[in-house]
Structure 1
Amino acid sequence: MPLISVVIPVYNGEKTIKETIESVLKQTFYDWELIVINDGSSDRTLEIVQSISEPRLKVFTYPNAGLSASRNRGISLATGEYISFLDADDLWTPDKLEAQLQALQNNPQAAVAYSWSSCIDESGNIFRSGGNLTYTGDVYLYLLLINFVENGSNVLISTKALKEVGNFDETLTSCEDWDMWLRLAAKYEFVAVEKPQILYRISANSMSANLLRMEAESMQVINRKRGRDREDYQHIKRLSKGNFYKYLVFKALDLTPKSERGWIAAKLLWKAVRYDRNLLQTKVIWKVLFRIVAVIILPSQIAERLFIKMKRAAEITTIFSYLRLEP
């Protein structure tokens, strides 16, 4: 049996699936199996996967059921002592599995290892670093405050621990990975590899672009009871909601400028301020308002050119410096 099972769910991923699989084939750690769950793709995805000659690669095709169901199907087929998930448009650095496995073996009390992430564009170019936050041991309160794991392509998990907490929630179409990490953190310790090893792809058509769905489901995940929540956690949940609304404001304005996204950003900003009134006293609030107004009133291409020309006035990444990172 392989030591690690890697699960890649894919739906109509013909543009990226080969590169994603190749990032697994290039791993410096070799004792793995790769389980590709073809989630009812109607493009050339299956043809591309089947053209890859690799005895450790197994592909299974099912009717379309969504990301969570595909991950759960992969879990049921996995035979490794550890499991890692990789979305079909993301990439790993070659040392990802080796470094995370070493971290878990050096910290036998931990059941989950995670690394830092970098963001890549549709061409695979790195254009922004991730949060690069490091919390180890009992991380539950920190993870409830902010999803420092950042994406579903990150963790290496003890299979025993994963099966104890149960499958991914198939009623969630976003934030299902954060929900899973929280369930694991409620019972097990985490360990971090302090370097970027996950290349997380961001595109206008990615799941993360569906902001209103993310808003609704993130609030649902934050409010859930996980067996160790106490009444005094309410202030942490409030801080968590404020953090997530700041993130959603950034997401709305970081995507291709469209009028409807400007209106959504305005609504999200109002909610962010509701949870953190100190935001009104920051410089970034004026930059956010500038982008919102420009996105609403200007055609998309003109707004993009304006943001490039007035880069300093339109730069809103500093909103992340106002996230609450301590319980």
Structure 2
Amino acid sequence: MTESPVVGIVTRTKNRPVLLKRAVESVLFQTYRNWEMVIVNDGGDPAPVETLVARYADDARGRIRIIHNPASLGMEGASKVGLAALDSELLVVHDDDDSWAPEFLVVTVAELRRMHAVYPTVHGVTTYAHRVLERIQGNLVEIESIAPFNDWVPPGFLSLDRMLMANFIPPISFLFTRAAYEGVGGVYEPIPYLGDWDFLVRFLSKYEIVMVPQLLAFYHWRTGAETGAMGNSIIGELDRHRFYRQMLLNEWLRRDLAAGRFGVGAYANLRSHLGTLIDQSEHLVGLAEEAREGAEHDDAGRKPVDPRAAEPRTNGVKPAGR
């Protein structure tokens, strides 16, 4: 890996200039300067994108290009177009509604170079991300709350086992090598959602990813009633995520069955069922805890009873211990 590798940044957008403005500024404010950015306008109106990028022409110094797709290719298709337009050594997908701390690139590039030199199988690094809940008010973005999204993940090598249960790494926080991108076969296009999960599973099946224990990425979710261009795939379309999640699990399992092996498909399906059981058990524990606290609250509000005044109600059954 070269001393100061070029980072290729892909931004997918469609008719969201108020969000795209923040994404462009997020890149321009990076303290690491050796980058180039490709904005893939996926079937949206070209004029606002051209106007916005022209406004930052002096700061960008020719490092931002725009590709206009005449018709929308979807998230994964747009990613493929943008990544194919870059020949940089390192790559990252910076969606138009997400953002970085100014130190994101300088920290992740340095850590990827350092870890790859020691462990050649390391081809990606990620950082912890903030989850930002926001709503759009006209041309303004109103922040409602910011909280850690995945700081429960241990620093160091990511767990392939845990990734097979569900994705916990948003694209905005993941920097990876072009060699690994090509080595795993690129993005998965047939589905409009969860292609990032499929990509990370294939990535971790072959290469290592290291978690840098710093909160340097911002994963933005819209909480209002935004629809259409301003919608958010996480908040507004959870049912579709569940739909395509099961599609992926089925496809992975079919590959295992066709090959006569116990592989990613079988393991991911078992891990998914285990996760469901864990969620259900935690829910039941929570209900039991609420019931216990409610009982204690009721008992605390009652007038104390003199134990000499009445015997415990046993319904004819002798209490244990007596």
TM-score by length of 2: 0.72
Matched with 1:56 is: 63
In structure 2, which of residues 188, 200, 210 is the aligned counterpart of residue 191 of structure 1? 210
Query: Is residue 14–residue 44 contact of structure 1 (8 Å, CA) maintained in 2?
Result: yes
Query: Is residue 124–residue 210 contact of structure 2 (8 Å, CA) maintained in 1?
Result: yes
In 1, distance between residues paired with 2:211 and 2:264?
27
Matched with 1:44 is: 48
Query: Is residue 13–residue 42 contact of structure 2 (8 Å, CA) maintained in 1?
Result: yes
Corresponding residue pairs, total: 257
Instruction: Please state how far the C-alpha of 1:51 moved relative to its aligned partner.
Output: 2.6
Instruction: Please state how far the C-alpha of 1:12 moved relative to its aligned partner.
Output: 1.1
In 1, distance between residues paired with 2:123 and 2:186?
16
AA of the residue aligned to 2:97: D
In structure 1, which of residues 283, 286, 290 is the aligned counterpart of residue 286 of structure 2? 283
Query: Is residue 2–residue 79 contact of structure 1 (8 Å, CA) maintained in 2?
Result: no
**Is 1:213 aligned with 2:240?**
yes
Query: Is residue 157–residue 211 contact of structure 2 (8 Å, CA) maintained in 1?
Result: no
In 1, distance between residues paired with 2:287 and 2:124?
35
In structure 2, which of residues 158, 161, 178 is the aligned counterpart of residue 159 of structure 1? 178
Matched with 1:303 is: none
Deviations 1:274-306 (A, max 9, x none): x7542452215898xxxxxxxxxxxxxxxxxxx
In structure 1, which of residues 108, 119, 122 is the aligned counterpart of residue 131 of structure 2? 119
In 2, distance between residues paired with 1:241 and 1:189?
25
Matched with 1:179 is: 198
Instruction: Please state how far the C-alpha of 1:199 moved relative to its aligned partner.
Output: 0.6
**Is 1:97 aligned with 2:97?**
no
In 2, distance between residues paired with 1:234 and 1:45?
44
Instruction: Please state how far the C-alpha of 1:48 moved relative to its aligned partner.
Output: 1.6
In 2, distance between residues paired with 1:184 and 1:130?
22
AA of the residue aligned to 2:176: I
In 2, distance between residues paired with 1:232 and 1:102?
31
Query: Is residue 111–residue 189 contact of structure 1 (8 Å, CA) maintained in 2?
Result: yes
SS in structure 2 opposite 1:59?
strand
Q: 1:77 to 1:284 in 2, by over 3 A?
A: farther
Deviations 1:176-221 (A, max 9, x none): 1111111111100111111111111101420112111100111233
SS in structure 2 opposite 1:107?
helix
Query: Is residue 17–residue 49 contact of structure 1 (8 Å, CA) maintained in 2?
Result: no
TM-score by length of 1: 0.71
AA of the residue aligned to 1:117: A
In 2, distance between residues paired with 1:11 and 1:281?
42
Greater RCO between the two (CA within 8 Å, min separation 6)?
2
Instruction: Please state how far the C-alpha of 1:171 moved relative to its aligned partner.
Output: 1.6
Query: Is residue 35–residue 60 contact of structure 1 (8 Å, CA) maintained in 2?
Result: yes
Q: Which has the higher strand share?
A: 2
SS in structure 1 opposite 2:171?
coil
* Higher alpha-carbon Rg: 2
AA of the residue aligned to 2:146: F
SS in structure 2 opposite 1:230?
coil
SS in structure 2 opposite 1:198?
strand
Deviations 1:83-126 (A, max 9, x none): 01101010011111111111111111200111111111232454
Deviations 1:47-74 (A, max 9, x none): 2223321221111111221111111011
Matched with 2:219 is: 200
**Structure 1 stretches lacking a partner, 5+ long:** 244-271, 288-327
In structure 1, which of residues 71, 94, 115 is the aligned counterpart of residue 79 of structure 2? 71
Deviations 1:222-247 (A, max 9, x none): 4415889726974653333564xxxx
In 1, distance between residues paired with 2:111 and 2:5?
18
Matched with 2:17 is: 14
Instruction: Please state how far the C-alpha of 1:79 moved relative to its aligned partner.
Output: 1.6
